[in-house]
Every structure is written in structure tokens, then in C-alpha cells.
Structure 1
């Protein structure tokens, strides 16, 4: 059985990913992955995707043909485009209901597996110490805060451990993002950034007047 410390850390990591990427993006990726397997909607989804590509292709060809110079070809492409669009809308409408059901089920399972599981763990293990801190290592009020709300005094509660994990994951994520930005973008010299004036204007050096000899 995995350690409760590790379970809470993984749970906070998953919550951070979902909050960073977005629930809608996660649902979209899961829907695409779901249709990669032999599911009831996989064939319909592949057909709708193929029809969508066909509609886009015909739309481009239609835009490249002049209705005045080559009306026969333009009319043929228009009929093909209208037929492909009608087939795509029919196929897309047939799987729209299945997708709404899938998204609703995924959203429920995602909440139960993350937020719901976190609430259950915090309630069930509210009196259990995650780990103990050395005696007289921190003041009394710090011990009380670390054991909040119902863990034994001198220990770290599951609530505080979850907050610590979430904070550390957020800090590491921001550090990695900043490192990536600094590594992939070439910094501009000071004063050459677009739209930003220099800190001060250089004044021409005044010519020194020759000293008059008495």
C-alpha cells in the first residue's frame, strides 16, 4: 500500500496539472484517446473527422476557382462541398449526444478522483499524524498550526501536508516555466526593448572652454 504522504502529493500534483492545463482541454484529450480504442463512437468519430477534412479541402479549392471564369468547375465543387457539409453535420450530430454523456461522466469521475478523494482523505485521516517533528524544534504556536485541525500536537496534519505539497508544486512549476522562458528567449539589451524608452538620455559632451591665463 502506498504511503499516505505519497498519495497526498500525487493528488495535489494531479490537481495542479488539471488547473494549469484546464478541465476542457483534459476532457478533449480524453475524448480523442477514447475514440482511439474500439468504442461505440470510434467509427463515427473517425468518419466525422474525415468529412471535416474533406469539407476544408473543398472549401479551399472552391475559393481558388472563379465562378465567372470557370463556372462549370465552380458549380461542381460547390455541389460537392454542400454534400460533404451535410454529411459532416449529420455525422457530427449523431455523436454529439454521446460526447456530452462522455464529458459529463468524465467530469464526475475527475471530481471524485481528485477533489472528492481529497475531502475524504482529509476527513478520514484528520486525527492521524503524517509525521512527527522533533521535540522543542519549533515554538508551541507553530506546533499547533502544523497539527491543525485535529492531528496530535507535535505532528503535521494531512491538511497542512496537502497545503505544503500544493505550494511546493506551484513554486517548482513557476520556476520551470521561468527557466524555459529564459532558455528559449534571447534577452534584449537594456534600452532596446520595443516601446520602452531608455532610462536616461545621453547628453552630448560639452566642449571644454580653454582656461584663460591671467
Structure 2
């Protein structure tokens, strides 16, 4: 069984990755991978891409043909274009419906696997010490804070350990980002910012404008 210390650290690391890359970006990547597998939507996805290319091709050909000088050819291309467009809209509408369901399912699973699991661990191990602090190392009030809310006095609680992990991961992430920018002279590309807050903010609280959705 993996160490609880490592489990909490891994959860915080996953939350940091999700909030940095962006939930929508992750959903899009998973949708692409999902459609590359022999899934019910993979065939429809390929058909949608084919019809889109066909609609673009026919539209270009229509633009290159004069409706006055060669009306018969233009009308034939127009009928083919309208038919391909109708088929594309039908397939694309079905795919959008599947995509909405897929995103909803992935978002639910992601929440259960990160924040849901974090809440469960915090509740289940609220009275369990993550590790003990040597006696006399810190004042009484510091011991009380480190054991907050219900861990034995003189130990570090799962909540405080989570905050420490989130803070360290955030600091290391900022250091890596700053190093990347200094070396490449380019800003670091980030995902969308519509995420829920991380489990614990490095600064203790998440600002309203930084609220993110998982």
C-alpha cells in the first residue's frame, strides 16, 4: 500500500497540473485520443473530417466558377455543396452531443479522482498523524497549528501536510517557469484558466479572479 504522505503529494501534484494546463485542454486531448481508439464515435469523427474537407473543396470550386458564364456547372457544384453541408451538419451535431456527454463524464471522474478523494482522505484520516515532530522543537501554538484540526498534538495533520505539498509544488512550478522564460525569452504557454481552486493554495487562499473549474 502506498504511503499516505505520497498519496497526498500525488493528489496535490495532479491538481497543480490540471490547473496549469487547463481542464478544457485536457478534455480536448482525451477526446482526440478517445476517437483514435475503436470507439463508437471514432468512425463518425473521421466522417465529419472528410465531409468538412469536401464542403471546403466544393466551396472553393464554386468560387472559381462563374454562375453567369457556366451556370450548369455552378448549379451542380451548388447542389453537391448543399448536400455535403447538410450531411456534415448532421454528423457534426451528433458528435457535439457525444462531446458534451464525454466532457461531463470526464469532469466528474476527474473531480472524484482528485478533490473527491482528497475530501475523503481528509475526513478518514483527520485524527491520524502524518508524522511526529520531535518534542521541544517548536512552541506549543505551532504544534497546535501543525496538528489542526484533529490530529494529535505534536504531529502534522493531513490538512497541513496537503498545504505544505501544494505550497512546495507551486514554488517549484514558478521556479521552473521563471527559468524557462529566462532561457528561452518566451512566455510559457498556459491552458485555460476556468478551473476550480487547487486543493490548497500556495498563499493560503485563491483569489476570486483565479477561480478555476475542474
Q: Same fold per TM (> 0.5)?
A: yes
Aligned CA-pair RMSD = 2.2
| Structure with greater contact order relative to length (CA < 8 Å, sep ≥ 6) | 2
Answer yes or no: is 1:67 the counterpart of 2:66. yes
What SS class does the counterpart of residue 152 from structure 2 fall into? coil
Aligned equivalent of 1:110: 110
Answer yes or no: is 1:129 the counterpart of 2:135. no
Q: For 1:16 and 1:39, how far apart are their aligned partners in 2?
A: 30
For structure 2, the residue ranges without an aligned partner over 5 or more in a row are 187-214
Aligned equivalent of 2:160: 160
For structure 1, the residue ranges without an aligned partner over 5 or more in a row are 187-214
Deviations 1:54-78 (CA, angstroms, capped at 9, x unpaired): 3344445555x26379755655554
Q: For 2:14 and 2:127, how far apart are their aligned partners in 1?
A: 24
Aligned equivalent of 1:48: 48
Q: For 1:159 and 1:141, how far apart are their aligned partners in 2?
A: 17
Q: For 1:174 and 1:54, how far apart are their aligned partners in 2?
A: 46
Q: TM-score, with normalisation over the residues of structure 1?
A: 0.77
Aligned equivalent of 2:36: 36
Q: TM-score, with normalisation over the residues of structure 2?
A: 0.77
In our comparison, the structure showing a higher alpha carbon Rg is 1
Aligned equivalent of 2:172: 172
Answer yes or no: is 1:94 the counterpart of 2:83. no
Q: For 1:80 and 1:108, how far apart are their aligned partners in 2?
A: 42
How far the C-alpha of 1:140 sits from its partner, in A, is 1.2
Answer yes or no: is 1:12 the counterpart of 2:12. yes
Aligned equivalent of 2:138: 138
What SS class does the counterpart of residue 2 from structure 1 fall into? coil
Q: For 1:162 and 1:61, how far apart are their aligned partners in 2?
A: 61
